Amino acid sequence: MHPRFYDFEATFKATTQRGSNMSTSYSSCYHSTTLSTHSLLLSHPKASAFHPSRFPNPSFKFHSTNQIPQTHLRIMSQKPSQVLGGKVEVGETQEGVSKGPMIDFHGIDEGLVEKMVYDALVWSSLHGLLVGDKSVQRSGKVPGVGMVHAPFALFPMLFPECHWKQAYELAPIFNELVDRVSLDAKFLQDSLSRTKKVDAFTSRLLDIHSKMLEINKKEDIRLGLHRSDYMLDEETKQLLQIEMNTISASFPGLGCLVSDLHRSLLNHYGESLGLDSKRVPNNPAATKFVEALAKAWSEYNNPRAVILLVVQPEERNMYDQHWLSALLKERHNVSTLRRTLAEIDAEGKLQPDGTLVVGGHEVAIVYFRVGYAPINYPSESEWRARLLMEQSSAIKCPSISYHLVGTKKIQQELAKPNVLERFLDDKEDIAKLRKCFAGLWSLDDSDIVKKAIESPGLFVMKPQREGGGNNIYGNDVREALTRLQKEGSEADAAYILMQRIFPTASHTFLMREGVCYKDDTISELGVYGAYLRNKDKVILNDQCGYLMRTKISSSDEGGVAAGFAVLDSLYLT
Amino acid sequence: MHPRFYDFEATFKATTQRGSNMSTSYSSCYHSTTLSTHSLLLSHPKASAFHPSRFPNPSFKFHSTNQIPQTHLRIMSQKPSQVLGGKVEVGETQEGVSKGPMIDFHGIDEGLVEKMVYDALVWSSLHGLLVGDKSVQRSGKVPGVGMVHAPFALFPMLFPECHWKQAYELAPIFNELVDRVSLDAKFLQDSLSRTKKVDAFTSRLLDIHSKMLEINKKEDIRLGLHRSDYMLDEETKQLLQIEMNTISASFPGLGCLVSDLHRSLLNHYGESLGLDSKRVPNNPAATKFVEALAKAWSEYNNPRAVILLVVQPEERNMYDQHWLSALLKERHNVSTLRRTLAEIDAEGKLQPDGTLVVGGHEVAIVYFRVGYAPINYPSESEWRARLLMEQSSAIKCPSISYHLVGTKKIQQELAKPNVLERFLDDKEDIAKLRKCFAGLWSLDDSDIVKKAIESPGLFVMKPQREGGGNNIYGNDVREALTRLQKEGSEADAAYILMQRIFPTASHTFLMREGVCYKDDTISELGVYGAYLRNKDKVILNDQCGYLMRTKISSSDEGGVAAGFAVLDSLYLT
């Protein structure tokens, strides 16, 4: 199992920009201790999220009821605090260590939360908001067994409507940018030339890219299913891009269900909470991705061809993918074929005209839900499969060039002055993109390396390696940079430096494995985008809904055990 | 966990009328060896279910494809036979004993079955066709954890449309009969007087009934949510009633999903199979039960009152119940409260006017999903709760008198000559009911006991005890009757004798825990009915969809390990 798909600790792989140990040291520069503004449910004694300025009806006139069996649900806080009632069982934390009885409900009716927890768990089960349970052996291979609800936040996260709209507006511009950059093979090869020397994975991708250039491979139909991830910087109130995912963007299938879940909860409990379910925006991620896939499939123009879903051998996030396959079948009568890279290597064939045939089926689209990280290529077999598919006339989602555009190095290169202008014409579009760029630097910029050694808390070091869990924060930044300087090798080309973003922390209820946890969290907004072009004709270029992920904020990305992330939705303010 | 709700071996508690060891001995009387007529998918060499007379398109022109990872699915036959392909893993049988590689597909494309198996498992997961996995500790207590697809048949079961319509037509007549009989307290007490002496459980129920008579308890609003179960006798081609469930009729929530699943599968694969998804009748069980509950709740006429779902402490069939609660909330804005009998004993209060209050909520309806078997009353606490609720002015579903009408002894009494006439006026209705009655006898009928000792294979001995797993078949009937005769006590009053029904056996694919089994099966059709009356006004008297259960036919009911049952739907012929 690779972390990107199911391990929420690691899937929340973007720069989680505030570690609890850091926030104190650097709070003079970056206001990271204000805990109130984005919290929907806040029991922190310093602040109340239900401030009248945020909610029309801040009163808590709950019925003091408890509609659930009292001994079955566990609600826990990450922080030890007093037990307020006898109804809460002691559970294990995500680290597997019991921290004793902990519950901390200030201002919100405990019975109401318990009812919502129960209803939310039921809703998830009945509506397919599921993942495989890693404690059940077959849960990553066989559907229908070893299922558990996907981790989710009990309440939607407050988010300013203007920033949400801004992120939506950016989606088609980024879609176009990816397409334009992908056409500039020299830019890609040159930008990644130093990375290639020190990063074997990028090197292999570039090799495939080079081979396609050599054979002058044409890609008439170009399909991009992207997700651009953002955080809201607390001090500047700016929406800043974390990264652009051009391959295997996950959770279009499950993320939209969380919006439905939150609307359902607010329909029933919103009045008591003073919250309006209409403020949770509809999230069409699954249907829009499926529409894009179906449109691309139509462009391929063979009603017997299938969509090949390239998957991991074990995939506990399979239901996220099954939602897309099910919708493709039900609404568009398009069949999907699930295969691992190794299976494609064994079964796949290219016909003389370039047609890709797998398992006896002509493949219209290769839709990658794996293949973005070195761990996905344990042997030459997987690389052979990747090359085979790239050589074919199937539509690749993504093509090797789209994949390369999504690397961190290219992200950093695009942030350099006058680079966007090479690819886009519209000055307004360029300004919009630039506005969401965080500071991004190469390690051959000695001034910035000096600054980062002086103030490592203001930077994140990001390696090319994908999949999360690889970023370097805090004093580790200083150590890593100092070591690289001493070594004087090219190894620094494997990293970029990024401005550290300090998003607002909130108190949140997080649901995992049937247990409700309460802790400080930060959130990251992803906006899906779909782009489809056939030769000169742009058929589709649109936003496709959103993904909100909320994560315990005391954990840097590096520590898998330090916290966990859940699926979330937005409450527009 | 009580077997009635989740253990499909035992929930299939009706007289499963044909044991493999019996069928040979008595085939001269009861044709039990014909394996073809009701089988949809039949690999038995003697017959083909896809006979032109049954299916418009019997040809098997499948694409020889395999759209699923090859090593993940297990398809097994209960009978050892040759492996036809290398794609099928060996798994354990339901007895936990591996029978080695077994697969037996005659005539049907293996790849097609594998695709359908995979799609069906995905469909179940995404659409809430779930139960708790008994191997996961919290799965009976906390929703959203330890889930596994409910056991289901891969294909709908062939069933004659005329018999399906007959069963639907009987539902409102049985509803009325139950109501009428429930009004005749003397008939109930007299009929059960001998049973009372030897069956402690029936005795306790009768005590509550007597107390209600003493206090002259009025039940103005009467709600019945019943299920009448039938089997189709192979020789006589008659639809014969197995029993009438007037309490805790299970699977209205999940059963209807199986019809949706089968229609979805036939929409995609029906053409290859020569099957038309329109022949699977729509099954409105969940929505109709929910409508009946909502109508009764309206009659109670307090918008703040809730429906109390009386449940087991551990309930792995909770999703069947959650579907009803979710629909009540979503469609009718009616809240439900889940409580065990012990919790009701602890929390429940009667106000001076008879209002039942549990957990601070006024209860409009007590809807029992437990309470039908001795095991549900492990202490006096549970009996106190039952009495408390019966004394209240809440609507009971069912009341103690409705519950008693559903006993096997009353079923047998109603089958006596001239008894139906005491309760119903319409001669046609009476004739319709009588037509579906199997032979039913008291053990004080010495002629029939003599016959049963001579030919035990033609009879089933049924104890009053509910919950399945208690019936006596075959030579055990002879032994039991002989022993009872010798003892000469009143113990025989704990049993009735019933004609043994021999339904047609079919080859079927059964899905359990992600594994596909193939075996001979028999099926039982249940038809739900709802009855609602407020004083003289009959508000509702209707059929409410169906439940088809299919069970491995080599098992008598007595042997829990001998076979298992799955949820199924109908394919009308």
Residue range B79-126, pLDDT digits in tens:
433 222 222 222 222 222 223 222 334 578 888 999 999 999 999 999
Task: Give the distance from CA B30 to its chain's centroid.
Answer: 24
Residue A37 in this model has a pLDDT that exceeds 50: no
**Gap between the Cα atoms of A386 and A396, Å rounded:** 10
According to the model, what pLDDT value does residue B75 have?
A: 64
Q: Evaluate whether A128 touches A78 at the Cβ level (below 8 Å).
A: no
User: In this model, does residue B520 exceed pLDDT 70?
Assistant: yes
- The average pLDDT across B393-401 equals 98
Would you tell me which residues 349-408 of chain B have a C-beta closer than 8 angstroms to some C-beta of chain A?
Answer: 359-361
Helices (H), A333-472: 341-347, 380-391, 400-405, 408-414, 420-423, 427-435, 446-454
Q: What is the pLDDT of residue A177?
A: 98
Q: Is B299 a catalytic site residue?
A: no
Window from B101-105, B156-160, B357-361 with minimum mean pLDDT:
B101-105
User: Of A226-235, A306-315, B242-251, B455-464, which gets the smallest average pLDDT?
Assistant: B455-464
Tell me which chain A residues have a C-beta less than 8 angstroms from the C-beta of B305.
Answer: none
Mean pLDDT for the stretch of residues B137-161: 96
pLDDT band, residue B466 (cuts 50/70/90): low
Please determine, for residue A55, whether its predicted confidence score (pLDDT) is greater than 80: no
A308 contacts A394 by C-beta, under 8 angstroms: yes
C-alpha to C-alpha distance for B293 and B249, rounded to whole angstroms: 14
Using the structure block, give the residue that is written with the tokens 């047998």: B412
Using the structure block, give the residue that is written with the tokens 């130093």: A194
Q: How far apart are CA A129 and CA A153, in angstroms?
A: 12
Q: Is the Cβ pair B67, A337 closer than 8 Å? A: yes
User: What sign does the CA torsion over A206, A208, A209, A210 have?
Assistant: positive
List the structure tokens of A321. Answer: 């993918």
State the average pLDDT over residues A531-558: 88
Q: Choose among B13, B262, B310, B4: nearest CA to B127.
A: B262
**Model pLDDT, residue B444:** 85
Phi, then psi, of A101 in degrees rounded to 5:
-65, 125
Nearest Cβ partner for B514 among A69, A144, A323: A144
A14, pLDDT greater than 50:
no
Residues 6 or more apart in contact with residue B299 via CB below 8 angstroms: B221, B395, B532, B534, B539
- Residue B122 forms contact with A (CB below 8 Å): yes
Terminal C-alpha separation, chain A: 38
Mean pLDDT of B371-380: 96
Q: What residues pair up with A429 in beta bridges, in sequence order?
A: none
B288 is catalytic: no
Question: Mean of the pLDDT values across residues A119-138?
Answer: 97
Contact A269, A117 (CB under 8 A): no
Q: Is A446 exposed, middle or buried (0-12, 13-18, 19+ CB in 10 A)?
A: exposed
Cis preceding linkage at B417, omega within 30: no
Position A332 pLDDT exceeds 60: yes
Q: A194 — alpha (psi -120 to 50), left (phi > 0) or beta?
A: alpha
Give me B177's structure tokens: 């009969």
Is the pLDDT at B553 greater than 90? The verdict is no
Number of other CB atoms surrounding residue A184 within 10 Å = 15
| Helix ranges restricted to H, A184-284 | 185-191, 193-198, 200-214, 252-273
Record the tokens describing residue B512, joined without a space: 């359990």
Q: How far is CA A454 from CA A217, A474, A475, B31, B56, in A?
A: 47, 11, 10, 91, 80
> What percent of chain A lies above the pLDDT cut of 90?
66
Q: Is the pLDDT of residue A93 over 70?
A: no
Residues of chain B contacting residue A143, judged by C-beta atoms under 8 Å apart: 118, 121-122, 125, 514
Which of the residues A343, A382, A390, A466 is marked catalytic? Answer: A466
Residue A59: pLDDT over 90: no
| Cβ under 8 Å to B: A residues 477-516 | 511, 513-514
- Has residue A426 got a pLDDT over 70? yes
Confidence of residue A29 (pLDDT cuts 50, 70, 90): very low
- Which residues does A54 contact at the CB level (< 8 Å), separation at least 6? A158, A573
* E strands present in B407-469: 440-442, 459-463
Of A165-169, B107-111, B187-191, where does mean pLDDT reach its minimum?
A: B107-111
pLDDT at B77: 56
CA of A306 to nearest chain B CA: how many angstroms apart? 10
Cα separations (Å) of B492 from B209, B446, B463, B500? Answer: 23, 11, 9, 19
> Mapping DSSP to helix (H, G, I), strand (E, B) and coil, where does residue B256 land?
helix
**Residue B450 falls in the annotated catalytic set:** no
Q: What is the mean pLDDT of residues A389-401?
A: 98
Across the range A323-346, mean pLDDT stands at 97
A35/B394: higher pLDDT: B394
Band (B491; pLDDT cuts 50, 70, 90): confident
pLDDT number for residue B488: 79
Instruction: Check residue A470 and give its pLDDT.
Output: 80
User: Do B265 and B118 touch, CB atoms closer than 8 A?
Assistant: no
Say if residue B50's pLDDT is above 80. no
Contact A372/A248 with Cβ under 8 angstroms? yes
Which of A66, A325, A514 faces B138 most closely, judged by CB atoms? A514
Name the active-site residue from B13, B54, B222, B227: B227
Do you find a cis peptide bond into A398, omega within 30 degrees of 0?
Answer: yes
Say which of B466, B474, B523, B545 is annotated catalytic.
Answer: B466
Q: List pLDDT tens digits, range A515-527.
A: 999 888 999 999 9
Q: A94-108, A211-225, A503-517: lowest mean pLDDT where? A: A94-108
Q: Is A63 on the interface with B (CB under 8 A)?
A: yes
- Top pLDDT among A172 and A110 is at A172
Q: Inform me whether the pLDDT recorded for B229 exceeds 70.
A: yes
What average pLDDT is seen over chain B?
A: 82
The share of chain B scoring above pLDDT 90, in percent, equals: 66
Give CA–CA dist B491/B464, Å, rounded.
Answer: 12
pLDDT of residue B76: 65
- What amino acid is encoded at B235 in this protein? E
pLDDT band at A444 (very low <50, low <70, confident <90, very high): confident
B376-397 core/surface letters (b: 16 or more CB in 10 A; e: else): bbeeebbbbbbbbbbbbbbbbb
In this prediction, residue B490 carries a pLDDT of 79
Catalytic residue among A124, A250, A317, A523: A250
Q: pLDDT value at position B39?
A: 29
Predicted pLDDT of residue A260:
98
Q: Mean pLDDT lowest for which of A405-409, B53-57, B177-181, B541-545?
A: B53-57
Q: In terms of DSSP bridges, do strands A506-512 and A152-153 run parallel, antiparallel, or are they unpaired?
A: antiparallel
Give the residue-averaged pLDDT of B179-205.
96
DSSP A419-442: THHHH---HHHHHHHHHTPPPEEE
Residues 6+ positions from B87 with CB-CB distance below 8 Å: B66, B70, B71, B110, B114
Whether A259 is a known active-site residue: answer: no
Quick one: average pLDDT of A521-548? 97
Q: Predicted confidence band at A172 (pLDDT cuts at 50, 70, 90)?
A: very high
Helix (H, G, I), strand (E, B) or coil at B285: helix
Report which of A468, A452, A551 is spatially closest to residue A504, judged by C-alpha positions: A551
Q: Which of B63, B67, B133 to mutate to test the interface with A (most CBs of A within 10 A)?
A: B67
Which comes out higher in pLDDT, residue A446 or B563?
Answer: A446
Spatial CA neighbour of A320 closest among A374, A256, A411: A256
- Give, as one character, the DSSP assignment of residue A344: H
pLDDT, residue B494, reads 83
Decide if A250 contacts A289 (C-beta within 8 A).
no
Task: Name the phi and psi angles at A54, rounded to 5.
Answer: -95, -40
Whether A416 has a pLDDT exceeding 80, the answer reads yes
| CB-based contact B361:A65 (threshold 8 Å) | yes
Instruction: Among A300-309, A490-499, B61-70, name the most confident range.
Output: A300-309
pLDDT at residue number A108: 81
Question: Quick one: pLDDT band at residue A74, thresholds 50, 70, 90?
Answer: low
Most confident of A408-412, B63-67, B81-85: A408-412
**Residue A130: phi, psi to the nearest 5?**
-130, 155
C-alpha dihedral (A419, A422, A423, A429), degrees to nearest 10: 70
The Cα–Cα gap between A511 and B300 comes to 37
